[in-house]
Amino acid sequence: MKNIVIAWRNLWRKPGRTLITSGSIFFGVLLASFMTSMQYGSYESMISNVVQFYSGYMQIFTEEYHENKTINNTFVLNDSLKSIIENEKGITHYTPRLEYFSLASSNEITKGSVIIGVDPDGENSVTGLQKWVKQGTYLEKNSNGVLVAIELTKYLQIGVGDTIVLYGQGYHGVMAAGLYPVIGILEFPTPELNKQFIYMSLDATQELFSAPDRLSSIVLMVEDNYHLPPVLRNLKKDIKPPFMVMSWAELQPELVQMIDGDKAGGYFMKSLLYIIITFGILGTILMMVSERKRELGVMIAIGMQRGRLATILFFETLFIGLIGAVSGIIMAVPLCYWYYLNPIPLTGDAAKTMVDMGIEPFMYFSIQLDVFYVQAMVVFIIAMVISIYPIIKSYTLKLTSALRA
């Protein structure tokens, strides 16, 4: 205990030196946390784009539908499956869908489109569909109207109040055709969704494709991506063939590969940052030991044991590391939280590139706890490894040269 007190007092005999040394650790934690927060924020944004705009965190469908997404492989929701979903506490919302392909036509213009039949209230609770209605009104439960993505309306040269023709193949080869009024125009933040999606009420879609009560999938939501793994494990255990459940990561493997590739680049950049931090801390520790060479020599000359001196130097470095790491976190948390609430908008070519990739043109930040404490731990460990140097120096210091310093 006495050695700890001595070490603490030694730090503040020259506060400038202590602040410089701990400052290198402070900036290391701050920069590493800021960089990691920005990196994780971009991943959360990518996942949010996929989850909240379309796929949900999980989907339930039949094994046959997973292999061949035809309307003939749809299913009727039974009480057993519904009970499993409603008894899983981690699920916050769920909604049924019937999705299939159809030709959309207006006058002499025709284009292939994705028809998505939804329960209006359920879909809005899962994906917030209503907020993307740029013109017109949202769907009602028994509505016969359609919501059309904005780029598709431009291609078909239609607007709110016009009529669109949908025709294709229904359940078991039945002809599917109908005239539907456009009651709203959707504008999503991602261009791919704007080119082909048409939303209808579930009842109208089932009638169009002659598929009463049939569903292609059930979309499930949880609180966030960090709550997904336990819920997914429970559902995979409870849901038996012919049904299956898949997460957004299994449904979007290309997005997972993109994130993994970016993480690899991020690890490389953070490795370079940690190397710079290491040399910065090492330089300040070397300076501290060099300045105190005569002081250390005098302490040994008057009878202090080298082992006790090494212990004091270790605790000095420990305190410096703690001061720098804790102050770095204290500064990093509000800074990242500010940018979490106020994402940085991108402009120019960078914004265009992100929009083309289907990502909102903003630089997002994350405030997950591991963004901060992991960086503080890494930098603190680096400081503790570097503390080996003054310990070794206390044992190898030549008394005669030290006293002449």
- Reported as a single tens digit per residue, the pLDDT across 170-191 is 998 899 999 999 999 998 877 7
Comparing 161 with 273, which gets the higher pLDDT?
161
Kindly list the structural domains of the chain, giving each domain's residue range(s) and its CATH number in brackets, ordered by start.
2-50+256-404 (no CATH), 70-215 (2.40.70)
Q: Which of 60-69, 244-253, 294-303 has the lowest mean pLDDT?
A: 294-303
Residue for token digits 């994705």? Answer: 114
Res 350: pLDDT: 67
The pLDDT tens digits of the residues spanning 323-369 come to 888 898 999 999 999 998 888 887 777 677 666 665 667 888 888 88
State yes or no: cis peptide before 242, omega within 30 of 0.
yes
Mean pLDDT over 188-196 rounds to 79
Q: What is the pLDDT of residues 122-156, one digit of tens each?
A: 999 888 889 889 999 999 888 889 999 999 999 99
Taking CB atoms within 8 Å and a gap of at least 24, the contacts of 292-298 are: 293/397, 293/402, 293/405, 294/402, 294/403, 294/404, 294/405, 296/393, 296/394, 296/397, 296/402, 297/397, 297/399, 297/401, 297/402, 297/403, 297/405, 298/402, 298/403
Token couple for 93: 């919302």
Q: How many whole angstroms separate alpha carbon 52 and alpha carbon 131?
A: 12
- pLDDT for the residue numbered 322: 86
| 3-state SS class at 22 | helix
CA nearest 153: which of 108, 192, 198, 117?
198
Query: What average pLDDT does the structure give for the chain?
Result: 86
- Do 148 and 134 touch, CB atoms closer than 8 A? no
**What pLDDT sits at residue 49?**
73
CA distance 343 to 363: 6
Give residue 275's pLDDT: 86
Confidence of residue 71 (pLDDT cuts 50, 70, 90): very high
